[in-house]
Amino acid sequence: MNSKNWFGTDGIRGQVGVNPITAEFALRLGHAAGRVLAKPEGGVVVIGKDTRRSGYMLESALEAGLISAGADVRLLGPMPTPGVAHLTQAIGACAGVVISASHNPHHDNGFKFFSGRGEKLGDDVEHAIEAALALEMQTVAPERLGRAARMNDADERYLAFVAGSVPPGFRLDGLRIVLDCAHGATYKLAPRLFSQLGASVTAIGIRPDGLNINRGVGSTEPAALQAEVRTQRADLGIAFDGDGDRVLFVDADGEVLDGDDLLHILAVEWQRSGRLRGPVVGTLMTNMALELKLATHGIGFARANVGDRHVHQRLHESGGVLGGEASGHVLCLDRSGTGDAMIAALLVLEALAASGRRAGDWRRAMPRFPQQTVNVRYGQGARPLEHALVIDARARAEASLAGRGRLVLRASGTEPVIRVTVEADDVVLVERIAQSLAATVLAAAG
């Protein structure tokens, strides 16, 4: 099947005001999506968004496009991505859309789609929407136009779903937690949830102004959370990203536990309790330390391509229930059909309580292989991975790493960047190969 023009590894994303992140494109996208997802009998499409100022513009245009195609719309307002996925399924909608650029800064935005089952769309559906985008817009007859309504109980319904992921008697009484909501979609919901469960909560990143999402806070910039945990002498910290599908922890010493650490905790505890099924699924970027550590417990491990949709697919194929990425996407498919940061956080807290060990104990139990990622930006039309210089440099790097580590060289699915990742048993070797290969990629991209 031909490659897609607009959809990347996680929907459509780009800079606001530059095609495709414009009001005009959003109007056409809504119409195309309505024709594909809500035809021929019509249907309901749920729209949620994060806290970016551009979300107002894109929401209105997308809503108009969907209505023009005959789809009814339910508007959620600010809502974590997994909340949109859940509510889409819960109300029997035919699709859901999240207006968000996830962990990117405010000047980016995008569109993530979910099927009526609350899962990411398959390639065939994305191709069908792109084909419909190429057609002329044809507004349905006036009597077939869709209608829009705001879903006023969305927050309560989603919070009840998240709280239901742990046993009814589960409590966080006495636990001092710092939450970092990245000035994003979890800014209201996360403090409510953890406070209701009895935790003593200090929250940062809860004052979105439309322009500060992910800026100096959140799972991509955990330094503020680390400092606050130390200042508050908290038991731990939890950081979400702008749209609430990534989560990282900070232990009482102010050290970060990433997605690999969280998978380690959950996998070992779930195996002990008999809850774990199938292999744990990571990605090409998962640190080798996790794979080796799980092997010592007799836990299978498989790698998927980068992106939570690929992890999700591999879990379905293998019958697994637990997977994720070091970036903080954690999929617990026996509780949610997509990566949900608040659910993952609760399940990790449940596992920590069951284990009787603190987060820092788990972190220290899995020392990492040194790993370095260098991002090399390239211009439009450049294909540096196909350049002879890069192909040759890659072969030499892989020969140097044979038996000692791994190399991952890939194009990002969300921005024009080549990611050069090197992992090995020696930090000097890692840095030398990563910097040398990145310089070669940069030269080829120029």
**Region of poorest pLDDT, from 140-154, 200-214, 414-428:** 414-428
Q: In what order do the strands lie in the sheet with 236-240?
A: 200-204, 176-180, 236-240, 247-250, 256-257
48-69 pLDDT per residue, tens: 999 999 999 999 999 999 999 9
pLDDT, residue 95, reads: 97
CB atoms within 10 A of CB 300: 15
Compute the distance between CA of residue 293 and CA of residue 110 in angstroms, rounded to an integer: 37
CB atoms within 10 A of CB 443: 14
The values of phi and psi at residue 230, to 5°, are -65, -45
CATH number of 174-256: 3.40.120.10
Domain ranges of the chain: 12-151, 174-256, 258-364, 371-445
Let me know if 149 is exposed, middle or buried by CB neighbors in 10 A (0-12, 13-18, 19+): exposed
Radius of gyration of the chain (CA): 22
Return the axis-axis angle of helices 23-37 and 54-68, rounded to nearest 10°. Answer: 40
Structure tokens at 377: 């930006």
Structure tokens at 176: 């001092």
- Please tell me the pTM assigned to this model: 0.90
Which fold does the domain 371-445 belong to in CATH?
Answer: TATA-Binding Protein (3.30.310)
CB atoms within 10 A of CB 383: 11
Cite the DSSP H helix spans in 38-122.
54-68, 81-90
Nearest of 248, 216, 206, 252 to residue 232 by alpha carbon? 252
The DSSP element (H or E) to which 369 belongs, if any, is none
pLDDT, residue 2, reads: 56
Which amino acid does the sequence have at 431? E
Residue 26, Ramachandran bin (φ over 0: left; ψ between -120 and 50: alpha; else beta): alpha
Three-state DSSP state, 126:
helix
> In b/e form, how buried is each residue of 122-134, taking b as 16+ CB within 10 angstroms?
eeebbbbbbebbe
128 band by pLDDT with thresholds 50, 70 and 90:
very high
CA dihedral sign of residues 262, 309, 151, 52 = positive
Which amino acid does the sequence have at 224? A
Compute the distance between CA of residue 341 and CA of residue 80 in angstroms, rounded to an integer: 9
Residue 225's alpha-carbon distances to 137, 187, 228, in angstroms, are: 47, 14, 5
Rounded to an integer, the average pLDDT of 386-405 is 93
The answer to whether residues 221 and 250 touch, using CB atoms and an 8 Å cutoff, is: no
**Region of poorest pLDDT, from 3-12, 86-95, 218-227, 299-308:** 3-12
Structure tokens at 265: 């905790």
pLDDT greater than 90 at residue 238: yes
Which fold does the domain 12-151 belong to in CATH?
Answer: Alpha-D-Glucose-1,6-Bisphosphate; Chain A, domain 3 (3.40.120)
- Superfamily of domain covering 258-364: Alpha-D-Glucose-1,6-Bisphosphate, subunit A, domain 3 (3.40.120.10)
Rounded to an integer, the average pLDDT of 7-27 is 94
Q: Which of 54, 68, 100, 102 is catalytic?
A: 102
* Catalytic residue status for 102: yes
Residue 268, Ramachandran bin (φ over 0: left; ψ between -120 and 50: alpha; else beta): alpha
70-96 pLDDT per residue, tens: 999 999 999 999 999 999 999 999 999
Cis check: omega of the bond before 167, within 30 degrees of 0: no
Beta-sheet strands, E only, within 80-205: 95-99, 108-115, 148-150, 176-180, 200-204
pLDDT, residue 1, reads: 44
Compute the distance between CA of residue 189 and CA of residue 87 in angstroms, rounded to an integer: 15
- Examine domains 12-151 and 371-445 and report if their fold is the same: no
